[in-house]
Chains A and B, each alone.
Chain A
Amino acid sequence: MATHTTFLDTNELVLNMGPQHPSTHGVLRVILKLDGERVLGTECVIGYLHRGVEKIAENRTYQQFAPYVDRMDYVAAVSNGLGYCLAAEVLGGIEVPERAQCVRVILTELNRIASHLLWLGTHALDIGAMTPVFYCFREREEVLKIFEKYCGARLTTHSFRIGGLQYETYDNFEKDCHTFCDWFEKKVDEYEELLTTNRIWVGRTKGVGILDAEACKAYGVTGPVLRAAGVEWDLRKAQPYCGYEKYDFDIPTCENGDTYDRYLVRMAEFRQSARIIRQAVDSLPSGPIKGKVSKVFKPPIGEAYVSIEAPKGELGYYIVSDGSVQPYRLRVRPPSFVNLQALDEMCRGALIADVVAIIGTIDIVLGEVDR
């Protein structure tokens, strides 16, 4: 004799979030197994934005492929370009002049600020604070204006070339960067005032989505998520590239590895990025902007893996060259893809309302997850 049960009884319920959903930050489908309000497990279905970037790379020359990398993490396109150019330069044994390295650092750090701004706005919006997103986009506008003045594009900038830069910096570049940094740091203070000690914000983010250091390392999670768990590791300090060893900056870390800590880490990273930009702008050397690269770039046979500290984590490029003008194999190691794997662990035992906050706090961009 079966007892009459309704869906309100606590047994396992499967709920589908996405792929179209205002909070999944792109086409991500998350299947939740719930016990009442508690999440028992999640399963991510990805690949909606898979464009076969790695296959395309095998059919384009190195220079032809460069614009494609911007489209992966489209929020922070400059980092993608930096990683790719560095990998190609290692493979080809090309030395980049100092001026180019310095400008690369400036643009990459501006891009880090822009990426974190977008993260902050959308994360706050998911949690219900509808105002910070507008402020963040206003600040992001200023960064995108600098990009536009420099290379003509705001979002998918293709700002770097193999061997250095294509364009010389425009006349007021240094002044613009300084003005932006000064103006921006006050805005960060505003955000902190609005959110950091707000009781509701703290209540929604503290203790939510904890991923401790051991779990982070096991899942290969890097970036602010790892630093919020207490591991003081940043590729810019551990394996400096592009002249980062010359600049003085801190690596913000926190202890608990929850959503609130990740928020604090990224807020601190705003300030550190501004610090790096100021130092880089002040020390901008003169000189050529492109190293010796032949017009037809043909690296010798070999392979290299080069990774950088992208705003979302360790972004790596593994390029295998067979001596021709096209890469034989180009593998992108996407931080969002690897970080997203840890979603299941972070969501165990959370409430449904927290899932949205946790997805936001990992800071994923589907273009990078799916490539």
Chain B
Amino acid sequence: MDEEKKPEGVAAPETEQPKSEPPASPVEATAPAEATPAEPEKPASAVTPEKAAKPAAAAKPAAEPGAEKPAAKPAPKKEPTEMEAEPWAGPLVDSLKARFGDKIQQFATYREQAFLIADTAAVIPILDFLKLEEDFDYLVDITAVDYPKKEKRFEVVWILYSFAKNVRIRVKAVVGEGEKPVTACTVHKAADWLEREVFDMFGIEFEGHPNMTRILLPEDWKGYPLRKEYSIIQQDQDWVRENLQIESGQ
């Protein structure tokens, strides 16, 4: 994690990561056979999240960083840095493909959990289609993941479940900074607070949301904590000073 921060040169007040360092070294110390491939893999794995978005299917052996010696091949060093997703096929995939064609970039499963990656603009029509025609009437969760290295840094995830089919799928879309995906409130009422939390933590605004305000943090907080550049001990010092009238020790 800290290796990521250094190349970015982020100005966090005190980038204290005391606990993450010791585990990192024993990994490199106790695996002598992988010592060499492990080190260059670290910065390579920092590059990983960028690659994971590319729709290319991952190659098999490489995804275990600490696994076997033959992983120390210079060429597949890039490959193990991807999720070992397997292609997903089935009637649902077929109907989605028929309906949305190339708006969906990838259908995959990992650990037997299916997901698809779609264009941001196509997500709401997909959710709508899934709800009305494929019985995915329960929106389990909306969340986001931040990959600051990629050109479009956020990956927003919608998790859906169908009571009738007892199947759970994930719909993902890659969203750039400043881009506004359309709100899912019109399709599932549950999206209301879930999207507010995504906004609160990541700063991703949802177009058309009835009340796009912060939900967990105070209304006038500055900063989006779950972004990677927001340090673990960072606070909105102005807010603390104004509202609590103290100088925070952080």
A residues sitting closer than 8 Å to B (CB atoms) are 46-47, 50, 52, 54-56, 58-61, 64, 90-91, 93, 215, 217-221, 231, 233, 238-239, 294, 296, 298, 300-305, 307, 314, 316, 318, 320, 322-326, 328-329, 331, 333, 337-338, 340-341, 370-371
Q: A61-B23, A91-B111 are in contact. Are A300 and B157 (CB under 8 A)?
A: no
Q: Is the CB of B1 within 8 A of A59?
A: yes
Stretch at the interface among B79-87, B97-105, B121-129, B174-182: B79-87
Assembled-state Cα–Cα distance A91/B64 (Å): 12
Q: A56-B232, A307-B140, A338-B193 are in contact. Are A47 and B48 (CB under 8 A)?
A: no
Q: Is the CB of A305 within 8 A of B163?
A: no
Q: A56-B232, A59-B20, A304-B111 are in contact. Are A326 and B1 (CB under 8 A)?
A: yes
A183 to chain B, nearest CB (A): 37
5 pairs, A vs B, C-beta closer than 8 Å = A217-B137, A302-B84, A304-B113, A316-B159, A341-B192
B107 to chain A, nearest CB (A): 15
B72 to chain A, nearest CB (A): 15
Q: Is the CB of A90 within 8 A of B140?
A: no
B217 to chain A, nearest CB (A): 6
Which of A55, A220, A239, A307 is most buried by chain B, counting CB atoms within 10 A of its CB? A220
B205 CB-CB contact with A under 8 Å: no
Assembled-state Cα–Cα distance A329/B149 (Å): 15
Q: Is the CB of A322 within 8 A of B84?
A: no
- What is the chain A residue whose CB lies nearest that of B27? A296
Q: A316-B141, A328-B49 are in contact. Are A305 and B225 (CB under 8 A)?
A: no
Give the contacting residue for B111; candidates A59, A93, A337; CB below 8 A. Answer: A93
A347 to chain B, nearest CB (A): 15
Q: Is the CB of B194 within 8 A of A298?
A: no
Q: A220-B188, A305-B113, A338-B190 are in contact. Are A298 and B232 (CB under 8 A)?
A: no
Assembled-state Cα–Cα distance A291/B111 (Å): 18
B73 CB-CB contact with A under 8 Å: no
Assembled-state Cα–Cα distance A300/B48 (Å): 12
Q: Is the CB of B143 within 8 A of A323?
A: no
Q: Is the CB of A323 within 8 A of B27?
A: no
Q: Is the CB of B157 within 8 A of A322?
A: no
Q: Is the CB of B145 within 8 A of A329?
A: yes
Assembled-state Cα–Cα distance A72/B223 (Å): 23
Assembled-state Cα–Cα distance A46/B214 (Å): 10
Query: Chain B contacts of A304 at CB under 8 A?
Result: 110-111, 113
For the complex with contacts A58-B1, A301-B81, A341-B189, 15 further pairs of A-B residues with Cβ separation under 8 Å are: A47-B214, A47-B216, A90-B111, A218-B190, A233-B163, A296-B23, A296-B66, A298-B65, A301-B84, A303-B83, A305-B113, A316-B140, A318-B143, A324-B1, A333-B159
Assembled-state Cα–Cα distance A331/B155 (Å): 13
Assembled-state Cα–Cα distance A304/B109 (Å): 10
Q: Is the CB of A46 within 8 A of B215?
A: yes
Query: Chain A contacts of B146 at CB under 8 A?
Result: 329
Query: Chain B contacts of A91 at CB under 8 A?
Result: 111
Q: Is the CB of B190 within 8 A of A341?
A: yes
B218 CB-CB contact with A under 8 Å: yes
Query: Chain B contacts of A301 at CB under 8 A?
Result: 45, 48, 52, 63, 80-84
B226 CB-CB contact with A under 8 Å: yes
Q: Is the CB of A341 within 8 A of B193?
A: yes
Q: Is the CB of B217 within 8 A of A47?
A: yes
B59 to chain A, nearest CB (A): 12
Which of A52, A56, A221 is most buried by chain B, counting CB atoms within 10 A of its CB? A52
Assembled-state Cα–Cα distance A239/B161 (Å): 12
Q: Is the CB of B20 within 8 A of A302?
A: no
Assembled-state Cα–Cα distance A325/B65 (Å): 11
Assembled-state Cα–Cα distance A221/B63 (Å): 37
Query: Chain A contacts of B27 at CB under 8 A?
Result: 296, 298, 325
B116 CB-CB contact with A under 8 Å: no
Give the contacting residue for B140; candidates A55, A314, A337; CB below 8 A. Answer: A314
Q: Is the CB of B19 within 8 A of A302?
A: no
Q: Is the CB of A323 within 8 A of B23?
A: no
B95 CB-CB contact with A under 8 Å: no
- What is the chain B residue whose CB lies nearest that of A222? B138
Give the contacting residue for B64; candidates A56, A300, A328; CB below 8 A. Answer: A300
Assembled-state Cα–Cα distance A300/B60 (Å): 12
Query: Chain B contacts of A314 at CB under 8 A?
Result: 140
Assembled-state Cα–Cα distance A301/B78 (Å): 13
Assembled-state Cα–Cα distance A325/B30 (Å): 14
Assembled-state Cα–Cα distance A329/B198 (Å): 13
Query: Chain A contacts of B157 at CB under 8 A?
Result: 318
Q: Is the CB of A302 within 8 A of B111?
A: yes
Assembled-state Cα–Cα distance A345/B166 (Å): 27
Assembled-state Cα–Cα distance A56/B231 (Å): 10
Q: Is the CB of A322 within 8 A of B140?
A: no
Query: Chain B contacts of A298 at CB under 8 A?
Result: 27, 65-66
Q: Is the CB of B145 within 8 A of A59?
A: no
B82 to chain A, nearest CB (A): 6
Query: Chain A contacts of B215 at CB under 8 A?
Result: 46-47
Give the contacting residue for B45; candidates A233, A322, A341; CB below 8 A. Answer: A322
| Binary CB contact string for chain B from 55 to 72 against chain A (1 if under 8 A, 0 otherwise) | 000000001111000000
B102 to chain A, nearest CB (A): 24
Q: Is the CB of B111 within 8 A of A323?
A: no
The 9 closest A-B pairs by CB, nearest first: A220-B190, A47-B216, A333-B141, A302-B83, A50-B216, A331-B143, A218-B189, A329-B145, A325-B23
Query: Chain B contacts of A239 at CB under 8 A?
Result: 166, 168
B17 CB-CB contact with A under 8 Å: yes
B173 CB-CB contact with A under 8 Å: no
Q: Is the CB of A50 within 8 A of B49?
A: no
